[in-house]
Amino acid sequence: MSRTTAPDPTTPGDTPARTVWDPRGYYRRALAVVAPIPLAAMGLVYLLQPAPAGGTFEQTYAAVVDNPGIVNALTPLAWLFFAFLIPAVLAAAAVSWRRVPRLTAIAASFCLPAFAAAFGSLPPGSDLHALLTHNLGLDVADQAALEVAWWEQPVALISSLLFLVGIVIGLSLLGIALWRSRRVPTWMAIALILGAATHPFLPTNTAQGIGLLVAAVGFSGASLALLRMTNDQFAPNSTPGSTPVV
């Protein structure tokens, strides 16, 4: 764990330097760990979920009733996506921002507000909604109408559009920033660009899942770059008069 030494400002004269914990190493390693997790997790969700891509609520319900255990098992993976997608964007931005500052800022500006708005405003996933409908014995037709009404709300429509913009444009720009930073292998940056740009346009669950796994490889490139960085390359030292000791 990184620490720094700094003079003690409360004691006059030549006093021994005190040890100060340097948090940069923690943030750098933590971001490296989480960077590939969200898209890899959601890629597995797409590959394993029983409901057809773009299906109606009734079709989703029928598929879920036949495979309730799979939906329960996929819920933690979906949670990883929602919990770590924004930190993953910050991880990639931390790699490229010093070398490609303007493009990184544009990419982050597309991604971060869009993802935050979507996670707070979009309706629950159709798979989980269908599973709860089954478990609680609710009327399928009523819940299908509720699903349509949810998605027709203006805030849901806007959040959905923003989310697509964040994925397709924001993550693609982030991949280009990683590429231009030269801190990430070119093929890994291209994987992020291709996986993000094509995700909404792929026709099946399997294709979309593979696309997200490809994009996760791009985030893995950011992880490698973060682990190879020194703390000073990651962020300037903010402790006056301190020097790294570990």
| Residue, of 223 and 201, whose pLDDT is higher | 223
Of these ranges, 60-64, 125-129, 214-218, the one predicted with the greatest mean pLDDT is 214-218
The mean-pLDDT minimum among 3-12, 25-34, 110-119, 152-161 falls in 3-12
What gap in Å lies between CA 171 and CA 108, rounded to an integer? 8
- Give the pLDDT confidence score for residue 245 in this predicted structure: 45
- Give the pLDDT confidence score for residue 189 in this predicted structure: 96
The mean-pLDDT minimum among 23-37, 57-71, 152-166, 216-230 falls in 57-71
- Give the pLDDT confidence score for residue 124 in this predicted structure: 82
Q: Is beta strand 243-244 parallel, antiparallel or unpaired with respect to 18-21? A: unpaired
AA letter at 105? A
- Give the pLDDT confidence score for residue 16 in this predicted structure: 56
Q: What is the mean pLDDT of residues 47-62?
A: 86
The rounded percent of the chain whose pLDDT value lies above 90 is: 68
Predicted structure pTM score? 0.85
Query: What's the N-to-C CA distance of the chain in angstroms?
Result: 7
CA 229 to chain centre: 21
> What count of Cα atoms within 13 Å lies in the side-chain half-sphere of residue 2?
18
Per-residue pLDDT tens digits for 91-109: 999 999 999 999 999 999 9
AA letter at 143? Q
- Give the pLDDT confidence score for residue 190 in this predicted structure: 97
> What is the full DSSP assignment across 85-151?
HHHHHHHHHHHHTTTSHHHHHHHHHHHHHHHHHHHHHSPPPHHHHHHHHHHHT--HHHHHHHHHHHH
What gap in Å lies between CA 225 and CA 221, rounded to an integer? 6
Residue 237: band (very low, low, confident or very high) from pLDDT cuts 50, 70, 90: confident
Per-residue pLDDT tens digits for 192-218: 999 999 988 888 889 999 999 999 999
